[in-house]
């Protein structure tokens, strides 16, 4: 489990296609503290560490993960939001994030508003009923509060610190992002759909 509070802005070091794709990520983390087999959320996607070096770690992504996330568009140099998993007793500064991406959303607007930046995303139609105004949502692994909803579109405001510390500051219309719906909304919807 994660909290959606990004603790490092990594960068793709190498991508090695294969049966599963191996992705190497440059990081500021002390990789001596990352065990092989540990999870790291990379742009909101929970991935397993399979190798590491002094300032990098490697993860593996299956064809299904590549198909359902933005990882298929990554290349050498792509910046990536990173978060290590929560430990028992850690503060949850954002909201509970599983690292299981529900869909890819598209940026439709990015405008300065006061001191922050208002980002508007278009989610797939089947997810619109799960997104609530003033509810939580994870965009590329970043815990955000939904400020408004209109049809399939939802808006968030991102403060300057978050714009600087994550990839959200570089988003522009047409960009794609990983989207994870709030776990509570997902389970409530499942209960309501029961026969």
pLDDT score of 194: 59
DSSP state of 20: S
**Is residue 15 domain-shared with residue 52, that is, in the same domain?**
yes
**SS3 state at 29:** coil
Residue 193 has pLDDT above 90, yes or no: no
Q: Do 82 and 41 meet the contact criterion of CB atoms below 8 Å apart?
A: yes
- Higher-pLDDT residue of 18 and 187 is 18
169 confidence band (pLDDT: 50, 70, 90): very high
Q: Which helix (H) or strand (E) holds 158?
A: strand 153-158
What residue has token string 């991935």?
Answer: 47
Q: What is the CATH number of the domain that holds 76?
A: 2.40.30.20
pLDDT score of 89: 82
* 177: nearest Cα among 68, 72, 32, 70: 70
Query: How many domains does the chain divide into?
Result: 2
pLDDT score of 94: 83
CA separation for the pair 137, 133 (Å, rounded): 10
CA separation for the pair 96, 77 (Å, rounded): 29
Q: Do 181 and 132 meet the contact criterion of CB atoms below 8 Å apart?
A: no
CA separation for the pair 69, 94 (Å, rounded): 22
| pLDDT tens, position by position, 37-53 | 999 999 999 999 999 99
- Domain encompassing residue 61: 8-83
CA separation for the pair 111, 6 (Å, rounded): 22
pLDDT score of 189: 67
Q: Answer whether residue 97 is part of any domain.
A: no
CA separation for the pair 165, 57 (Å, rounded): 20
Residue 195 has pLDDT above 70, yes or no: no
**Is residue 60 domain-shared with residue 109, that is, in the same domain?**
no
């Amino acid at each position: 489990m994660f909290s959606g509070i990004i603790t490092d802005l990594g960068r793709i070091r190498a991508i090695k296609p294969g049966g599963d794709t191996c992705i190497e990520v440059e990081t500021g983390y002390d990789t001596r503290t990352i065990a092989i087999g540990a999870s790291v959320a990379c742009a909101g996607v929970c991935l397993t560490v399979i190798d590491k070096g002094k300032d990098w770690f490697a993860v593996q992504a299956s064809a299904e993960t590549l198909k359902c996330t933005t990882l298929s568009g990554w290349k050498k140099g792509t910046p990536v939001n990173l978060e290590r998993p929560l430990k028992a007793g850690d503060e949850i500064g954002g909201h509970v994030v599983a690292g299981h991406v529900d869909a890819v959303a598209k940026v439709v607007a990015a405008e300065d508003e006061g001191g922050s930046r208002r980002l508007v995303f278009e989610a797939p139609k089947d997810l619109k009923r799960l997104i609530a105004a003033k509810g939580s949502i994870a965009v590329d692994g970043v815990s955000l509060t939904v400020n408004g909803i209109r049809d399939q579109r939802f808006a968030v405001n991102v403060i300057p610190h978050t714009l600087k510390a994550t990839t959200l500051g570089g988003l522009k219309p047409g960009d794609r992002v990983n989207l994870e719906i709030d776990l509570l909304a997902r389970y409530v919807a499942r209960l309501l759909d029961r026969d």
